[in-house]
Amino acid sequence: MKLIWLGHASFRLEIGDQILLIDPWFTGNPMFPEDQKDAATDGATAILLTHGHGDHSADTVALAKALSVPVVGIYDLMSFWEASEGIATIGFNKGGTVQIGDVAITMVNAVHSSSLGSDSGPIYAGAEAGYMIAGEGHTIYVSGDTDVMADMQIFNDLHQPDIGILAAGGHFTMDMKRAAYAAKTFFDFKTVIPCHYRTFPILEQSAEALAEALPEVNVIEPEVMQPIEL
């Protein structure tokens, strides 16, 4: 299983017989080198979207059309895009599980907001979400943009994720201290990978505090386009 950070909260996940693009954001992403887009998207089988904000969804429709792959996400937004953009989607909701090839994806709660930008202001985009992605003997928790939630205890009881991809940059999501609290209090991760940080000055620039708070966990600070073998 291979995970590649594409900057911010974007990832390429090669798992089972699938290549998933998670919240792929290229246009305007200051962390991502434009000349690497083809390499980042090559062979993708689906796009997994946590919510509608532009730093997660801006490239979704164009990528779905260019790659001829479905977008997987909250039912409301998927139905809207399928009707308005003519793309293939797999829409479901929190607590639901979809099977994509060898990979099972369960949508779980997140605490944030979700909208699409427009000239007249924000447009409703369904609800924000996180995911449990199960395959190759692992379960990965993708937190999406969220704060700490007591729900995380339920997630662990039901799914026992061994890998956590946690939004931890602060300001818009948990910061490193809060992400560490979530990991220690609710989960038994073997590996934690922070994201949604370093992109802008307003966000945290280092995961040192996260690593120090989780001495028994393998905290990996990802580098853009550098594969992580899991």
Does an H or E element contain 115, and which?
A: strand 115-116
| Bridge partner residues of 21 (DSSP) | 12, 47
Distances (CA, A) of 53 to 25, 58, 134: 10, 8, 25
What pLDDT score does 88 carry?
A: 98
What pLDDT score does 26 carry?
A: 98
Q: What residue spans of the chain are helical by DSSP H? A: 37-41, 54-57, 60-67, 75-85, 151-159, 176-186, 208-213
Single-letter residue type at 98: V
Q: Using N-to-C axis directions, what is the helix angle for 60-67 and 75-85, rounded to 10°?
A: 60
What pLDDT score does 99 carry?
A: 98
What pLDDT score does 73 carry?
A: 98
What pLDDT score does 95 carry?
A: 98
User: Which residues of the chain fall short of a pLDDT of 70?
Assistant: none
Q: Are the CB atoms for 73 and 91 separated by under 8 Å?
A: yes
What pLDDT score does 132 carry?
A: 99
Q: Cβ neighbours of residue 87 under 8 Å, at least 6 residues apart?
A: 61, 64, 65, 70, 71, 81
The pTM score is 0.98
What pLDDT score does 205 carry?
A: 98
What pLDDT score does 169 carry?
A: 98
